[in-house]
Amino acid sequence: MRRARRLFRPGVGMLCALCVLVPALIGAELVVRGYQERLVRDVQTRASNGLDNASTLFDQERLRTLNNAELSASHLGPLVAQDSPDDLLKATADVRANVLRSTSLVALVDAGGHTLASDPASNLQFATQGDVKTALQGKLAAGWQERTPLALESAAPLPEGDGAVLVAENVDDTLLNTGARLTSLEMALVENGRMISASRGIRRSLTFAADTSADTNLVRQSGDTFERTTIGPDAYYLAARPITLSNGKVIGTLLAGSAAAAVDDATRQARALAFAAAVLGALGAGLVGTLFGRRTARRARQLARVEDELETSRAQADHLSAVLASLTEGVIVADAEHRVWLVNPAARNLLSLPAGDHQPYALYADQLMPTSERVIRSYSSPVRDEVGTALGTVTVLRDTTRDQEVERLKSEFLTVVSHELQTPLTAIKGALELVLDDDTGDLSRVQRRFLDTIDRNCARLTSLVADLLDLSRLEAGRIELETQPLDTASVVRGALSPMSNLFEARGITLRVDVPDGTPPILGDRRRVEQILTNLLSNAAKYTPEDGGGVVDLCAHADARYVELAVADNGPGVPEAERDVVFDRFYRGRDAARRGEAGSGLGLAIVKSLVELHGGSIHVEAAQPRGARFVVALPRAGDEDD
């Protein structure tokens, strides 16, 4: 009997383990599949949004080709009637290379539909294309052009009805890489069933693919579709959208999505965690069954507690996995020895890490730096226990590529607007000067007053355009300094000379204190004078007029720098605004209420010029009231003489 009881206990344990293990494994698999389906739905949503963003990108590219077509027409139009074919071909090549730069094709068509010049050379019959026909009738036109690769084309009429200019931009890898950077998704273009253009990730997969044809389940549909497909050795989740002409003809298909490795890796991790929990639960059940005996009630209670704990652990693990997988920011967790033990899917996508890779933490350092494809910012924080012992490190990664691109586009916009405004302003100012200088008494007093108002505002606009150009050059790094030792007193006099009339007109007292023997400044004379002029102009703007205003300019030197300080007795700069007063286009909260004019560029230009010299600038409260701007510029040494 005793031996039977000894055999009975392991048998009960095995039975209990099997009773728990089988349903636990089935339940774990169902949970994992549900989790995988949720991940795939998230990818599908992102891919669909990526197609929308790509459509917006194509619309922007179409507008760019329209602008390029008009620009090319303005350059080439005057040459059609007078230049030879060889000259027209050279002019077309010059426009494409030097004016439009990255355009794929520029072609010139005469009024009869014959091609006069094309760069690169082409034997296509451009006059048969719908957009060229429309342009020959005197209207701008844009649309898709069916060829390999697909192209976005625009045509513009030449002046006097002499013909048209066609500009085409191929939808190639370069354009799709731009879309990939903006959406963090991979993209491809399919034509006649084959992938003809692709972003970097899919292009790498295509290099290992024996067959570059696209999945027929993706490209042979009339609307948006979503499939898991294989390209070379890699699997992808891709959404597809047909590209349709106005007549309803489908000329290609746009794909957007991401590699399936992130979803597969997250699913494997979830499955391993769920199965481990199931096995652990089965082992616990077997242990409880083996020990089943005299203390049945106690063992039953222990089993219930174990199952509750396992259920809680599974729920917590599922919740943690779901949270980490749903984060758009990348998360890397390492222990105190810098060994990586957790990398979420977003981090793998940002760093292009293969699934299941667990390198030492230090190896990720180079991958956290900006690359040509993405700009990634990282933020790290130590993990400590209750007594302060370091347990490891958590690093959060964020893709700031789009922010960088927005800043670049803003700088390009400022540069273009400044250049476009400069020419008409110069013409307006020249015409005004001719009218005012040639006045022999024909102008009435009211007319002269209006013309003087126009002249003042034209000068103000000219100054604003100059500030915009300076700011854009500074941000683009196109300003070079001609540094040399500069006599400090002479530089101060040079800056004060154009400002004397302004201070006199506003009734402001100017006090200058540049001690004899002040060391020279190492800098560019014109730019240092520009720094002081902007600071003095800013001080005059905020200083009380009619005898109550005082502006002080003083110089001081130490072993490394010469400090130039400009102080006024105006309203001053609130402490809360001192960190942002040098930002572009920033004006004080009370500036509009007090009616001061200004663009908010002067101090931003000053800060950029000072930092370009290797110096620094800050603002502090003046005594008894007002603001004091202090500029520290490098001091010239004996070796600089």
Considering the domain architecture, whether residues 385 and 428 belong to the same structural domain is answered as no
Q: Are residues 158 and 213 in the same domain?
A: no
Of 335, 183, 310, 348, whose CA–CA distance to 254 is shortest? 183
Domain with 512 in it: what CATH number? 3.30.565.10
With b meaning 16 or more CB within 10 Å and e meaning fewer, what string describes 20-48?
Answer: bbeebbeebeebbeebbeebbeebbebbb
Q: Are residues 33 and 46 part of one domain?
A: yes
Which of 231, 259, 287 lies at the terminal end of a domain, its last residue?
259
Higher pLDDT pick, 73 / 276: 73
**433 within 8 A of 454, measured Cβ to Cβ:** no
Residues 165 and 298 in one domain: yes
Q: What is the mean pLDDT of residues 48-69?
A: 84
The CATH number of the domain holding residue 472 is: 1.10.287.130
Distance CA 586, CA 600 (A): 5
* SS percent in the chain: helix, strand, coil, step 5: 50, 25, 25
Question: How much is the pTM?
Answer: 0.41
Do both 360 and 212 map to the same domain?
A: no
Residues written for the chain: 641
CA-wise closest residue to 584 among 564, 603, 561, 562: 603
Gyration radius of the chain's alpha carbons? 36
Alpha carbons 19 and 278: distance in angstroms, whole number: 11
Q: How far apart are CA 45 and CA 571, in angstroms?
A: 53
* Residues 215 and 130 placed together within one structural domain of the fold: no
Q: Name the token pair of 550.
A: 């005082």
Best-predicted range by mean pLDDT (145-154, 187-196, 330-339, 512-521): 512-521
Residues 579, 470 share a domain: no
CB 146 within 8 A of CB 127: no
> What whole-number distance in Å separates Cα of residue 541 and Cα of residue 499?
12
In contact, 351 and 364? CB cutoff 8 Å: yes
Which one of 233, 259, 285 terminates a domain?
A: 259
For the chain, the domain total comes to 5
pLDDT at 31 over 80: no
Q: Are 122 and 107 in contact (CB under 8 A)?
A: yes
Question: Which of 380, 399, 418 marks a domain boundary?
Answer: 399
Question: CATH code at 161?
Answer: 3.30.450.20
- Decide: helix, strand or coil at residue 615: coil
pLDDT reported for residue 544 = 83
Q: Are residues 462 and 316 in the same domain?
A: no
The percent of residues above 70 in pLDDT, for the chain, comes to 79
Rounded alpha-carbon distances, angstroms, from residue 638 to 309, 484, 485, 629, 641 = 77, 12, 9, 28, 6
Contact 612, 556 (CB under 8 A): no
pLDDT at site 288: 58
Q: What is the mean pLDDT of the chain?
A: 79
Residue closest to 164 by CA, chosen among 84, 92, 104: 92
Confidence grade of residue 502 (pLDDT, cut at 50, 70, 90): confident
Cβ atoms within 10 Å of 232's Cβ, excluding its own: 15
Pairwise CA distance, residues 9 & 291, whole Å = 7
Residue 80: Cβ-neighbour burial (10 angstroms; 0-12, 13-18, 19+): buried
State the average pLDDT over residues 272-280: 71
Model pLDDT for residues 115-174, shown as the tens digit of each residue: 888 888 887 788 778 888 888 888 888 888 777 778 888 888 988 778 899 998 888 888
Closest-CA residue to 212 (of 244, 180, 183, 190): 190
Q: What is the pLDDT of residues 467-498, one digit of tens each?
A: 776 766 777 677 888 999 999 999 999 999 88
Q: Which residue has better confidence, 472 or 370?
A: 472
Task: Supply the pLDDT for residue 639.
Answer: 67
Q: 130 and 40: one domain? A: yes
Tell me, letter by letter, the H, E, C secondary structure of 405-454.
Answer: HHHHHHHHHHHHHHHHHHHHHHHHHHHHHHHHHCCCCCCCHHHHHHHHHH
Same domain, 448 and 378: no
Residue 423: the pLDDT is: 67
Measured CA to CA, the distance from residue 20 to residue 28 in angstroms comes to: 12
Phi-psi region of 218 (alpha: psi -120 to 50; beta: other; left: phi over 0): alpha
Q: How many CB atoms lie under 10 A from the CB of residue 506?
A: 16
Name the pairing type of β-strands 561-568 and 521-523. Answer: unpaired
Residues 302 and 379 in one domain: no
Calculate the alpha carbon distances from 273 to 51, 212, 290 in Å. Answer: 35, 37, 25
57 and 134 both lie in a single domain: yes
602 within 8 A of 584, measured Cβ to Cβ: no
Separation between Cα atoms, residue 543 and residue 537, nearest integer Å: 10
pLDDT band at 5 (very low <50, low <70, confident <90, very high): very low
What pLDDT, on a 0 to 100 scale, did the predictor assign at position 361?
46
The residue range of the domain holding 2 is 1-171+260-326
Q: How far apart are CA 315 and CA 308, in angstroms?
A: 10
- The helix (H) or strand (E) run that includes residue 563 is strand 561-568
Q: What percent of the chain has pLDDT over 90?
A: 13
